[in-house]
Amino acid sequence: MKRIPTLMTLALACTLPASAMAGTYYEPTPMEAYLGDAPDAQQPWISTTSGALQGEHLNIHGSSTDSFGNDWWGGSYRADYQMWDWESNDTHNIVGGATLRVNAQIFLTNREAANVSVGAHNFGSNVVNGSVKVAGKTLRNWFYTDQSLQEVYQKNTVFFDSSKSFGLGPFSVSFKATASGNVRVEPNISMQGLRATINVTPSARVNVSGQAGINLWLASASVEGSLSPLIEAKMPTTSFLQVRPGQAPCFRADVDLQLTTAKGQIKIILNYLIDSWTKVIASWNGKTTNYELLGVGQSCISVVPGFSLL
């Protein structure tokens, strides 16, 4: 597990030749940009304040974001998490949740592929709510009152496509790239009065495949390979909060992130009569890194008999 410093700035490098700086058309090479050593991480905000009704109160929230790629291929994510409690109208309120957003870029098209959000609160009654969105369309909503939620939801889908023409030999070949993959969330949430347990693992994976075509008699164009994935992000989130009258709340919060960036190769092949041309338009080695975004609090086993964190 790689621990992120409290504040880290992404290093994203893309060195352009002098001709590009002068305004000449520039075609980026597949490996020209790379992912930095660690994502941009907002310093987790953790505080406790004194309250007249229930003693101390807790407020934890933070976010992490990162991007990679060049003008042809790329991706980004944003992870947000929160857990807090406060007093209102002589009652005590608890809120917790996590949101994961994943964007993908193919050529000059950049879109949000997946947006997964799950949370819980006890405003008036215990409520578990959340949603799964793919390409801006809501696929799944949760809203349960006075219940716990334990479910595995997964959806395989096509996110979007983008086209571009490439020169092979003396000809122009059209290439259509398709971003497809899946979004998945495993919420395991329990709200019991002034106790909240939230275990959520939102994830999204975007793969890229393609088709090539040419409008020329006796010529054929084909594609070999894929980027699998272009980007994949998983965000295991585990948090527990119990309010104890007159005392500091007992809590534990752990948020991790597993990020995998572009892996694979895509090449276009053109055959015309006895001649053949090949062009590699993507070639990435892939990189998987585990980040610890948050790890705070203490064991609450002594406070809640039989409870243990996963």
For the chain, what percent of residues have pLDDT higher than 70? 75
Whether the bond into 249 is cis, omega within 30 of 0: no
DSSP 21: H
Q: What are phi and psi of 194, to 5 degrees?
A: -100, 30
Where helices occur in the chain by DSSP H, the ranges are 18-21
- Sequence letter at residue 146: D
Residue 101 pLDDT: 94
**Segment 74-94 mean pLDDT:** 81
pLDDT score recorded for residue 93: 78
* Single-letter amino acid, residue 28: P
In the predicted structure, residue 165 carries a pLDDT above the cut 90:
yes
Question: Residue ranges per domain, the chain?
Answer: 2-12+28-297
Report whether pLDDT(33) > 70: no
pLDDT at 300: 65
Tens-digit pLDDT profile for residues 218-259? 899 999 999 999 999 999 999 888 877 667 778 888 899 999
pLDDT at 198: 85
Q: Give the pLDDT band of residue 126 (cuts 50, 70, 90).
A: confident
How high is the pLDDT of residue 193?
75
Distance CA 205, CA 309 (A): 27
Better-predicted residue by pLDDT, 85 or 78: 78
pLDDT-based confidence at residue 67 (cuts at 50, 70, 90): confident
**R_g of the chain computed on alpha carbons:** 24
Amino acid 56: pLDDT = 63
Angle of CA points 133, 284, 101, to nearest 5°: 15
* Coil, strand or helix at 155: strand
42 secondary structure, DSSP code: P
Q: Is the pLDDT of residue 301 over 60?
A: no
Range scoring the smallest mean pLDDT among 10-24, 81-95, 223-237, 249-263 = 10-24
Q: What's the pLDDT at 252?
A: 85
What pLDDT score was predicted for residue 19? 25
* Those residues with Cβ within 8 angstroms of residue 110's Cβ, 6 or more apart along the chain or in another chain: 74, 103, 104
**Residue length of the chain:** 310
Nearest of 252, 206, 257, 259 to residue 236 by alpha carbon: 257
- The yes-or-no verdict on residue 39 having pLDDT over 70 is no
Q: At 9, is the pLDDT very low, low, confident or very high (cuts 50, 70, 90)? A: very low
The whole-number pLDDT of residue 49 equals: 53
pLDDT at 102: 95
Would you say residue 17 has pLDDT above 70? no
Q: What is the mean pLDDT of the chain?
A: 77
d(CA 298, CA 272): 68
Question: How far is Cα 67 from Cα 237, in angstroms, rounded to an integer?
Answer: 21
pLDDT at 167 over 70: yes
Whether 68 has a pLDDT exceeding 90, the answer reads no
Buried b or exposed e, range 127-146, using 16+ CB within 10 angstroms: bbbbbbbbbeeeebebeeee
At residue 304, the pLDDT reads 37
The mean-pLDDT minimum among 148-162, 166-180, 183-197, 198-212 falls in 183-197
**Confidence band, pLDDT 50/70/90 cuts, at residue 109:** very high
